[in-house]
Amino acid sequence: MQNNTRKVLLIDDNEIDLKINSRIISLTQIFESIITCHSGEEALSYIHRHLNQPEALPDFILLDIQMPEMDGFEFLEHFKILPAHFIQRCPIAMLSSTLDFGDITRAEANPYIIKLLKKPLNPAELSALFI
């Protein structure tokens, strides 16, 4: 992946995890700024609002799996119909505490997912995606 990544979007319904992961990511200094959303819906609406402002759009998404109403996989269904120019610039990694075999195989099979990261987020594993 390219090195000029600047913005990361975190999608997680858990406030504490958002806080922890934001902090871990800011300590790694991989990204210039962090956008946090508490749900897939909120993230989609953010993306839609900023489709004409590329500088405000994320370059990478960290997506939780278990969320109420729209879970991570459903978010991906909405993600894939977004404009191609955005999809191409914004890879996604899932970030989950899941031990569920079904979740793991599903995440690995999804073409938009470059990696399934396990919580707690390991900074070295995250950095490895950008080398």
Partner 1 sequence: MSTPGIKVLYIDDEENNLQAFKASFRRLYEIYTALSAEEGLKILQNVNIHIIIADQKMPNTTGVEFFKSIIHTYPDPIRILLTGYTDIEALADAINHGDIYRYITKPWNDLELHNSIKNAYDAYRAKIDLRNKINELEKTNEELNRFIYSISHELRAPLVSMMGIVDLVKMENMYQSSGEYWSLIENCSNKLDYYIQKTVQYYKNNKTVTEQTDIQFDAVIADLVELYAYSDKETRFTIHVNQTAAFVGDIFRIEVILGNLISNAIKYQKSNEPNKKVDIAIDVNALQAEITITDNGVGILNEHLEKIFTQFFKSKHHPGTGLGLFIVKEALNRINGKISVKSILNQGTAFKITIPNAK
Which range binds partner 1 by CB under 8 A, 18-26, 68-76, 78-86, 109-117?
18-26
Which range binds partner 1 by CB under 8 A, 15-23, 31-39, 46-54, 79-87?
15-23
Q: In whole angstroms, what is the distance from residue 95 CA to residue 100 CA?
A: 13
Q: In this complex, which beta carbon is closest to partner 1, that of residue 33 or of residue 122?
A: 122
Residue 127, interface with partner 1 (CB under 8 A)? Answer: no
Q: In whole angstroms, what is the distance from residue 9 CA to residue 91 CA?
A: 11
- 94: tokens are 């899932």
Residue 33, interface with partner 1 (CB under 8 A)? Answer: no
Q: In whole angstroms, what is the distance from residue 104 CA to residue 127 CA?
A: 21
Do 82 and 58 contact (CB within 8 A), yes or no? no
The residue within the footprint of partner 1, chosen from 7, 17, 78, 130 (CB under 8 A), is: 17
Q: In whole angstroms, what is the distance from residue 108 CA to residue 110 CA?
A: 6
Residue 16, interface with partner 1 (CB under 8 A)? Answer: yes
- 8: tokens are 């990361």
- 38: tokens are 């508490």
Residue 21, interface with partner 1 (CB under 8 A)? Answer: yes
Q: Which residues bind partner 1 (CB under 8 A)?
A: 14, 16-17, 20-21, 23-24, 27, 66, 97-101, 119-123
